[in-house]
Amino acid sequence: MTNAKQPKTNKQKIGQQETRISALKVLLNYYQDITETIREPFIILNKELLVVTANDAFYSKFKVLKEDTENQSIYRLGNNQWDTPELRKLLENILPEHRVLNNYEVKNDFPDIGPKVMLLNARQVDSKQLILLAITDVTKQRKFRNDSAKMTAGLIKQHDRLKKLSDAKDEFIMVASHQLRTPATAVKQYVGMLLEGYGGKMSKTQTGMLSTAYESNERQLEIIEDLLRVAKVDEGKVYLTKSSYNVVRQIEEVIKDQLASFDIRQQTIVFDKPAEPVIVYIDKKLMRMVLDNLLDNASKYSYRGGQILINLKQTNKYTIIAIKDKGVGILKKDHNKLFQRFSRIDNPLSLTVSGTGLGLYWVKKILDLHEGSMEVISKFSQGSTFTIKLPILDDKKSLKK
């Protein structure tokens, strides 16, 4: 008796092959039921790369018929539109080695549907007898991504160009302002000396003319200073020097300095101040300029005999300063212009008062540096309320220090 394994007869081989084919047919019916539930094109190949079955999404997408697809080589489908070097490399070299492929990108100009970018996901199953191949058309997504990248690059280039122009403009404003300030200051000094009698006695007419020149020169210096301040803040060269300060006292100082203007316009100002000091952590000098500007605007754009109200309060989170007038007000369409550079809004009083259109822009920048905010409520011909909100978190920290 021998233990050597007897070779299989042809009858046994045929029986085993028929059994395997029967099992495969059952499996294919199972897979076909699954493929029809998949919305993206899906195809099943055998190991010879012949199409076993495909879902309706595949037939619809690639414009092929079922009878022209099944039992055909994938390379011959749709007038050989799948016969590409990339797909051959994928199915014949890469997939057999790895058995699994995820998001393999293939680009091809299909005769029936045009240029496409496809993501292929493939699996070998049933002991490498079958290949499951899912196909996702990402042409639109890739185009959108490429277009977005080009658009982004264009916007960055445009931004850089605009920034260079803005920097050049700011530099010009800075240099021009410095150059203008020197002669304007000299004019102020000499005109002032003449008005004080250093050049001898003058007639009333001469004094009046020099006074007008002096006032015009003062306005010119104010414009130059505004330009310099804006240029500095835009370049990020304005720095805060903060300290704890009683803002009640600061508001009273601003009111006192502007009383002459209020008297000329026969206006009254009411400060509804708290009984106790209100301590804030601010740059005293810059915040003084903010209050000066807002109170001056309230006076300039209020009618003769009008009243201006200042309200001050402090909550757990904010110090709130509101300046309210009953003046000309602002049209709703003009609200977005308030804090723009060189922007002046037309109203019944705008032609009678001077301004550069830089004041509120400067105010907003200073409040931003303080991490504060500005709220404006205004109706045309009914007045305006400008409300400053300054966070007091820094106040408490500074007091602890």
Give 360's Cβ-side CA count (13 Å radius). 22
Give the Cα separation of 38 and 41 in Å (integer): 7
| The total number of structural domains that make up the chain | 3
Q: Do 148 and 247 belong together in one domain?
A: no
Q: Does pLDDT of 113 surpass 70? A: yes
C-beta pairs of 115-122 under 8 Å, 24+ apart in sequence: 115/139, 117/142, 120/90, 122/90, 122/91, 122/95
27 within domain boundaries = yes
Ranked by mean pLDDT, the top range of 9-23, 69-83, 240-254 is 240-254
Q: Do 84 and 163 belong together in one domain?
A: no
Give the Cα separation of 250 and 312 in Å (integer): 12
Residue 58 φ then ψ, to 5°: -65, -45
Distances (CA, A) of 102 to 92, 93, 129, 143: 16, 15, 19, 21
Per residue, the 3-state secondary structure of 273-300, as one string, reads CCCCCCEEEEEHHHHHHHHHHHHHHHHH
The pLDDT value recorded for residue 307 is: 93
Confidence of residue 280 (pLDDT cuts 50, 70, 90): very high
Domain region containing 320: 242-400
Q: Do 302 and 344 belong together in one domain?
A: yes
pLDDT in tens, 24-68: 556 656 666 666 667 788 888 888 888 888 888 888 888 888 888
301 within domain boundaries = yes
pLDDT in tens, 312-360: 999 888 999 999 999 888 888 888 888 877 677 766 666 656 666 678 8
The pLDDT value recorded for residue 29 is: 63
Q: Do 184 and 288 belong together in one domain?
A: no
Give the Cα separation of 113 and 65 in Å (integer): 15
Question: pLDDT above 90 covers what percent of the chain?
Answer: 15
How would you label 203-233 residue by residue, b for 16+ Cβ within 10 Å and e otherwise? Answer: eeeeeeebeeeeeebeebbebbebbbbbbbb
Q: Do 370 and 281 belong together in one domain?
A: yes
Distances (CA, A) of 301 to 16, 72, 345, 362: 101, 86, 11, 18
pLDDT in tens, 137-164: 888 888 888 888 888 888 888 888 887 7
Confidence of residue 248 (pLDDT cuts 50, 70, 90): very high
318-325 sheet: strands from edge to edge: 268-272, 307-314, 318-325, 383-391, 373-379
Q: Which residue has the higher pLDDT, 362 or 223?
A: 362
At which of 181, 207, 234 does a domain end?
234
At which of 137, 166, 195 does a domain end?
137
Q: What is the CATH number of the domain that holds 297?
A: 3.30.565.10
DSSP codes, 303-358: -TT-EEEEEEEE-SSEEEEEEEE-SS---GGGGGGTTSTT-----TTTTTS---S-
At which of 171, 204, 234 does a domain end?
234
* 291 contact partners, CB below 8 Å, separation of at least 6: 250, 251, 254, 321
Q: Does pLDDT of 18 surpass 80? A: no
Q: Do 217 and 196 belong together in one domain?
A: yes
7 within domain boundaries = no
Q: Which two tokens stand for residue 161?
A: 């160009």
The pLDDT value recorded for residue 387 is: 95
The pLDDT value recorded for residue 153 is: 85
Question: pTM, whole model, 2 decimals?
Answer: 0.50
Q: Which two tokens stand for residue 70?
A: 């099944």
